Chain A
């Protein structure tokens, strides 16, 4: 395929992906807005004032970055896992697999779709949060890069999940039993400084902690862990997941018998 042809194939998949999640916006864009609205009302408005300050900030301000990133994680993961598994389940993935579109392009395009939904949902949730607090931005570059990198990573995660999944149940197991606990325990709601030494160390084994802290750093300028280390870790995970995904695309028995 010529570079132009590859670009056409790439854009075809990306547009198809974006069209898919915007067509079913009631299932993809509205729920995160509603659930974060509830989080803000309950934890920020009702309980937050009783909590007082967290790491020197109003609880509401502390909470917002974690909730935004949590919705980005869920949205990008969900987009790729449901779209790719759906295509596999309905066999329409064969349209792509029999074509000369290189695996690399297929993977990049699905990531792009996941990032698009992740970023869009992130913006929606951010707008909702503006109803409750004035967001100040400490470093916009950090915010943008952490959101995009995190969305890439979880798009890849969703992709790998979709390749292995055999039933629709397999698609919800990882989000429910892995992603949700890791996110909740990754410091969305609290600073790990509140924990004892032992649990602090345990928490530091959780990769999502680093993403949330780096993202919060972009807003507030505070973090429980090193921001550079966070970047290094996210990028390392992306490289590993990317390699696994590419391998699966050409070798997985879930795609090619």
Chain B
């Protein structure tokens, strides 16, 4: 099978001796919607930089749709559209100029460039702003402008480095729909994000990178299956001085009116409720203690030596 992206032992040591990547093997299948996750400074943007030639790799191999970047980077680059983490357009130009020029750099003639500009600026809700100074757009609009710019040559692989940072909830949702549609139409997408619900909502496969090493490369489903313990927080109707003894094994009293219970995979909440009812304890509301995916993420990217809580 052809991979949209295949890296082998990819390493990068920056000029300041920071080892940003330490031998990353990453495979992203054609057509995938892939999340590249990791804490700040993990090396996500470095990977993306290498794919787009803004960062020169120290060692390792990169193939994009089977094209090795050491053999034919020009061709490999023509497959990729990238939305960088930081704004990188000329703030004195207009969205239309920015996008049409970008088309030109990919060898697209002016007529086609203008047609596509209209298509993508409309799709991203920026057509009315096409002749404004880009520097005057709001943060969310600037991000959408960069998405439109990345799509102008209709790339096979779209890479987005934190595309929804600083974007309001409504637009984030519409961006999700937009990206899902593009993916459904055949474009492979790699996205980095710090919002795990976003990754959960959008992506089929994920890679978690930490300190320059890939610590997890699996499907979203398999990752979610790893979650074998969930903690629920229960709010009580009446305050309790202490927990009745029979409940000690299944619940903890956090404060007088709050209980925490751990539910292992395969167990049900009914047993807990039965025990609570038997002790005449009434629950008014219940919620998940933490986003379970976030907890797993924290566990996976914990520094070695740090105690688990």
Residues on A lying within 8 angstroms of B by beta carbon are 1-2, 4-6, 8-9, 11-13, 16, 87, 90-92, 94-102, 251, 253, 256-257
Contacts and interface: CB of A to CB of B under 8 A. Distances in A.
A253 B91 CA distance: 24
A6 B109 CA distance: 11
User: Do most interface residues of chain B lie in helix, strand or loop, or is the interface mixed?
Assistant: loop
Interface string B74-90: 11011010101011111
B60 interface: no
A253 B149 CA distance: 25
Nearest to A87: B90
A5 B82 CA distance: 20
Contacts of B87: 91
A99 B77 contact: yes
Contacts of B104: 8-9, 11-13
A6 B102 contact: no
Q: Name the 7 nearest CB pairs between A and B, nearest first.
A: A5-B107, A12-B104, A99-B105, A91-B88, A92-B90, A98-B52, A100-B78
A100 B101 contact: no
Nearest to A24: B92
Nearest to B107: A5
B273 interface: no
A185 to B, nearest CB: 37
Given A9-B104, A16-B101, 9 more contacts: A2-B107, A5-B107, A8-B104, A13-B105, A91-B87, A95-B98, A98-B77, A100-B105, A253-B15
B74 A100 contact: yes
Contacts of B102: 95, 99
Interface string B238-266: 00000000000000000000000000000
Contacts of B88: 90-92, 94-95
A100 B77 contact: yes
Interface string B36-57: 0000000000000100111110
B108 interface: yes
Given A90-B91, A256-B55, A98 B82 contact: yes
B54 to A, nearest CB: 6
Nearest to A2: B107
Nearest to A1: B107
B105 A96 contact: yes
A250 B91 CA distance: 25
Nearest to B78: A100
A13 B102 CA distance: 10
A1 B74 contact: yes
B14 interface: yes
B195 interface: no
Given A16-B101, A95-B101, A97-B54, A90 B90 contact: yes
Contact of A97 (B53, B91, B109, B110): B53
A155 B84 CA distance: 30
B106 interface: yes
A243 to B, nearest CB: 19
Contacts of A5: 106-108
Nearest to B106: A99
Nearest to A96: B105
Contact of A257 (B15, B77, B110): B15
A95 B91 CA distance: 13
Given A11-B104, A98-B77, A101-B105, A256 B53 contact: yes
Most A CB atoms within 10 A — which of B86, B89, B90? B90
A8 B109 contact: yes
A184 to B, nearest CB: 34
A55 to B, nearest CB: 47
Contacts of B89: 92, 95
Nearest to A94: B88
A141 B113 CA distance: 40
A7 B235 CA distance: 69
A96 B104 CA distance: 10
A102 B72 CA distance: 11
A200 B143 CA distance: 60
A99 B76 CA distance: 10
A9 B106 contact: yes
Interface string B50-75: 00111110000000000000000011
B49 to A, nearest CB: 7
Contacts of A9: 104-107
A98 B48 CA distance: 11
A69 B113 CA distance: 39
Contacts of B52: 97-98
Nearest to B80: A98
Contacts of A96: 105
